[in-house]
Amino acid sequence: MIDLTSPWPLGLNRRNWPAYAAGFVVVLVLLLFIDHPVSLLVTKQSPDVIDFANKVTRWGKSDWILIPSVLLLLLTAIVARLGRKRIPKLALLEMVEMLALIFVGVGLPSLASTILKDVIGRGRPVVYDQVGTLGFHPLSFNYGFESWPSGHTTTAFALATVIGFLSPKWFGIALLYAIAIAGSRLVLGAHYPTDVFSGCVLGVLGAYAVRNYFASRRWGFRRLPDGRIEQRPVVAIVRLTERFQRKPAR
């Protein structure tokens, strides 16, 4: 299992990041050779599989994550500000920190993906016959040329990583969700393997970067003496929960 308390995933750090960056480029180049063959293979599915992929892929959109999280964030912040009692107020502030991580940790990588897709303008598999796998129309703002990186995959892996930060026991299930989203993008012919791989990397690293910034500000997370980063104990939420559990039933 991945150690989610590490500052960066898979042993990445400030000293070895050039080697990791070079490895990323090498993998991209190798995947380019199989982009089109894999795309042709995985899109040849039965109507039932295509229909299922369409249902799955909807959960890779960022709207269903960002809109509820920001609304809850604002509502919780307002209630916390108006609150008078210390424990409930602190519990709400702890919730604000968690909701903020979800919103920013998913929203920022998703935004970066959207900008990159339009700036780079790589052709999707659907326009392969016209431009091949390396056809680019930068800043065309055309759906057919918004392939790299996969936005759905970025969102899904960012969300899975954020869930892992907040509740490690759910990370495995969240990771399966992210993999399903990435697979659906290939089956539907919306992206090449290079797009999906890049979205995975962008989503994970983006979520780590946001978590690390939160830790530097002590917003819900803290950096330990050995460099690891862990979630700060939600003491007020625990105390409030215990208080309600001790309340006698009427």
The string of pLDDT tens digits covering residues 90-139 is 999 999 999 999 999 999 999 999 999 999 999 999 999 999 999 999 99
Work out the pLDDT band at 86, boundaries 50, 70, 90: confident
228: closest CA among 14, 1, 5?
Answer: 5
| Confidence (pLDDT) at 247 | 61
pLDDT digits (tens, 9 = 90+) for 3-53: 899 999 999 999 999 999 999 999 999 999 999 999 999 999 999 999 999
Percent of the chain surpassing pLDDT 90:
88
pLDDT digits (tens, 9 = 90+) for 157-174: 999 999 999 999 999 999
| Confidence (pLDDT) at 11 | 92
| Confidence (pLDDT) at 244 | 67
| Confidence (pLDDT) at 250 | 52
Angle between helices 235-246 and 86-120 in degrees, nearest 10:
130
Residue type, 37: P
In Å, how far are 99, 124, 215, 221 from 167, measured between CA atoms?
13, 35, 16, 13
Percent of the chain surpassing pLDDT 70:
96
| 3-state SS string for the chain | CCCCCCCCHHHCCCCCHHHHHHHHHHHHHHHHCCHHHHHHHHCCCCHHHHHHHHHHHHHHCCHHHHHHHHHHHHHHHHHHHHCCCHHHHHHHHHHHHHHHHHHHHHHHHHHHHHHHHHHHCECCHHHHHHHCCCCECCCCCCHHHCCCCCHHHHHHHHHHHHHHHHCHHHHHHHHHHHHHHHHHHHHCCCCCHHHHHHHHHHHHHHHHHHHHHHHHCCCCEEECCCCCEEECCCHHHHHHHHHHHHCCCC
| Confidence (pLDDT) at 79 | 92
pLDDT digits (tens, 9 = 90+) for 97-108: 999 999 999 999
Domain segments of the chain: what residues?
13-246
pLDDT at 245 over 90: no
pLDDT digits (tens, 9 = 90+) for 46-66: 999 999 999 999 999 999 999
- Please give the structure tokens belonging to residue 30: 């190798």
| Confidence (pLDDT) at 3 | 86
pLDDT digits (tens, 9 = 90+) for 185-220: 999 999 999 999 999 999 999 999 999 999 999 999
Residues β-bridged to residue 91: none
116: closest CA among 50, 216, 28, 199?
Answer: 199
